[in-house]
Structure 1
Amino acid sequence: MLSNVEDLRNHLQASIIFLNQFKHLTDAYIIEYFTDSHWEKLPGSWRSFLDDLEPPDLAEQLLGEGIKNGRQTSVCPLSLLCFKRCSRLFALQRPALHCSNNATGQNKLLKHIYRKHVSPKKQHEISILAKVIEKTFLESNCSHVIDAGSGQGHLSRLLTLGYDLPVIALEREETFLEEARKFDVEAMNHVKKVCEKEGELRHPPMQVPTHVHCSLPPDEGAKHFIQKLSDATRKKVGGNSADNPHFMLTGLHACGDLSATMVRLFKESSSIKSLVSVSCCYMKLTTDSINNDACDVTRASQIYYPMSDYVGSIANHQLPYKARELSCHAIEDYRQRLKENGPHLKMHCYRAVLEVLLTRQHPDLIRVGARTVKKAYNLPFTEYVKRAFQRLNLPPCDVTMLCSSNIEEMLNDWRHLVTYFTLSLLLAPVIESIILMDRLLYLKENGFRSEISSIFEPLLSPRCFVIIATKES
Structure 2
Amino acid sequence: MAIPQSYTDSKTYMHDCLQFLNDYQWIYNYPNTHILVNKIFEKIPLDWVEYFNKFNTNDFNSLALGIVNENAPLSLKQFLRKLDNLKPKFELKTLPENISFTFPKNISIGIKKKHEILCLSSVVDRICRDKDVKSVLDVGCGLGYLPHLINEKFHFKVIGVEGDEKKVRLAEEYQKKYYPHSIENVSYLHNYITKDSLDTLINLGLDNFCITGLHACADLSITILKLFLKITSAKCLVIMPCCYHRLTINSIEDGLETFLNFPCSDILKRVAENFKIETFLRRPFLRLAAQQSCESWKELDHNAHDIHAKNCLFRAILQEIAEEG
TM-score, normalising length: structure 1: 0.59
**Corresponding residue of 1:424:** none
- The answer to whether structure 1 residue 328 and structure 2 residue 319 are counterparts is no
- Root mean square deviation of aligned Cα: 3.1
Unaligned runs of 5+ in 1: 100-106, 193-202, 234-241, 292-299, 363-473
One-letter amino acid of the structure 2 residue matched with residue 324 of structure 1 = L
**Corresponding residue of 2:101:** 111
CA distance in 2, matches of 1:130, 1:115: 20
Maintained 8 Å contact 2:217/2:242: yes
Maintained 8 Å contact 1:171/1:209: yes
Q: CA deviation at 1:25?
A: 1.3
Q: CA deviation at 1:281?
A: 3.9
After superposition, the Cα gap between the structure-2 partners of 1:9 and 1:282, relative to the gap in structure 1 and judged at 3 Å, is farther
CA distance in 2, matches of 1:289, 1:165: 43
One-letter amino acid of the structure 2 residue matched with residue 88 of structure 1 = D
One-letter amino acid of the structure 1 residue matched with residue 291 of structure 2 = H
CA distance in 2, matches of 1:188, 1:64: 44
Maintained 8 Å contact 1:115/1:123: no
Maintained 8 Å contact 1:137/1:274: yes
Q: CA deviation at 1:51?
A: 2.2
Residue 200 of structure 2: which of 228, 231, 243 is its match? Answer: 228
Q: Which has the larger radius of gyration?
A: 1
Maintained 8 Å contact 2:138/2:159: yes
CA distance in 1, matches of 2:130, 2:91: 26
**Corresponding residue of 1:87:** 83
Maintained 8 Å contact 1:166/1:207: yes
Maintained 8 Å contact 1:140/1:274: yes
CA distance in 1, matches of 2:217, 2:140: 8
Maintained 8 Å contact 2:64/2:298: no
After superposition, the Cα gap between the structure-2 partners of 1:252 and 1:115, relative to the gap in structure 1 and judged at 3 Å, is farther
Q: CA deviation at 1:290?
A: 7.3
One-letter amino acid of the structure 1 residue matched with residue 20 of structure 2 = F
Q: How does 1:2-401 map to 2 (within 5 A)?
A: 2=3, 7-60=9-62, 62-64=63-65, 66=67, 75-93=71-89, 97-98=93-94, 110-113=100-103, 117=107, 118-189=109-180, 205-214=184-193, 216-217=194-195, 221=196, 225-233=197-205, 245-289=207-251, 303-313=260-270, 314-315=272-273, 316-318=276-278, 319-332=281-294, 334-336=296-298, 338-339=300-301, 341-342=303-304, 343-345=306-308, 346-360=310-324, 362=325
C-alpha deviations, 1:186-224, integer Å up to 9, x for none?
2334xx5xxxxxxxxxx785211111211x23xxx2xxx
SS class of match (2:14): helix
Unaligned runs of 5+ in 2: none
Maintained 8 Å contact 1:288/1:305: no
After superposition, the Cα gap between the structure-2 partners of 1:285 and 1:17, relative to the gap in structure 1 and judged at 3 Å, is same
Give the % identical residues. Answer: 23
Maintained 8 Å contact 1:149/1:251: yes
Maintained 8 Å contact 1:149/1:169: yes
One-letter amino acid of the structure 2 residue matched with residue 347 of structure 1 = N
Maintained 8 Å contact 2:137/2:210: yes
CA distance in 1, matches of 2:217, 2:297: 25
Maintained 8 Å contact 2:4/2:86: no
Q: CA deviation at 1:273?
A: 1.8
TM-score, normalising length: structure 2: 0.84
CA distance in 2, matches of 1:108, 1:37: 54
CA distance in 1, matches of 2:105, 2:151: 15
C-alpha deviations, 1:64-112, integer Å up to 9, x for none?
2536xxxx6x71112211211222221224676559xxxxxxx995233
